[in-house]
Amino acid sequence: MINSKKNSTAKYMFVLFLMLSGIISCGPKTFYNSEIDGKKIPVSSQYTTNKEIEDFVAPYREHIDKDLDSTLAWAPVTFDKRKGKWQTNIGNLMADVTFEKADKLFYLRENKHVDICLLNHGGIRATIPQGKVTARTGYEIMPFENSLIIMALKGEQVNDIATYMAIGKKPHPLTGMEIVMDKNNTVKKVTVHGEPVDNNKTYYVATSDYLSNGGDNMTFFKKATAEYDMDYKLRNLYIDYFKETDTLPVNNTERIIIE
């Protein structure tokens, strides 16, 4: 006689085993590379281009090159970051352009005006040769994905900017602010649009997202009371300015004065 109770129990255990096996097998698995094998292949002239790939890419490259190389404006002189101890003509240009575009956008969005623009000398990656100015020029001088940020600083931090400039001795692009130093690089006077700095006043400084986070040791930005992301790439800002301008202005106004 067949024991139906034992048979049912056996079937139950078998089904339970299958279910548990399924759950376990469907669970997440972690895989590890036990060995990585590779070799260094130097890029040299012995490797020729693939004609099929080149033929495929060529029309796209031509289209992009046409857009990048179309004349947008004219540079009456060469704008060069290497010429100038405390300021350069390209630094003045980039600070002035950033200030102008940032102020319009900031007022439109926040009903406030920008007081100062501060960028970094190291962020300028190319010269603007005398002659035609193109979209490619924008990519060359600003190849990074830096965005426009407006930082709200108290007057104390504005004075820290002056100290930073005096100690660093680099021609960082600056506008809206004038720093007077003696021959020993001691800061004697700081003004914003001709007015003495008020430690209790809030000043709005246009800069890049990189610097706003304390990049290039600009730690005074970390003491900002407010931050406004303009969602505007600096590269695009310059290209837009080139499109609106016939001839790039040459502004040699001193922002740092040695007495």
In the prediction, which pLDDT does 35 show?
74
Domain borders along the chain are: 66-258
Is the Cβ–Cβ distance between 90 and 81 less than 8 Å? yes
| Banded pLDDT at 41 (limits 50, 70, 90) | confident
Alpha carbon distance 242, 200 (integer Å) = 37
pLDDT at 18: 61
How confident is the model over 219-239, as a mean pLDDT? Answer: 98
Predicted local confidence at residue 220, as pLDDT = 98
Summarize pLDDT for 85-103 with one digit per residue, the tens.
999 999 999 999 999 999 9
The predicted pLDDT at position 61 comes to: 80
pLDDT tens per residue across span 164-208: 999 999 999 999 999 999 999 999 999 999 999 999 999 999 999
Please check the confidence at residue 15 and state whether its pLDDT lies above 90: no
Q: In 3D, which of 1, 245, 251, 256 has the Cα closest to residue 101? A: 245
Weakest-pLDDT range from 13-17, 75-79, 97-101, 174-178? 13-17
Residue 241: predicted pLDDT: 98
Q: Work out the pLDDT band at 2, boundaries 50, 70, 90.
A: very low
Q: What is the pLDDT of residue 57?
A: 85
CATH class of 66-258: alpha beta
If one compares 52 and 133, the residue with the highest pLDDT of the two is 133
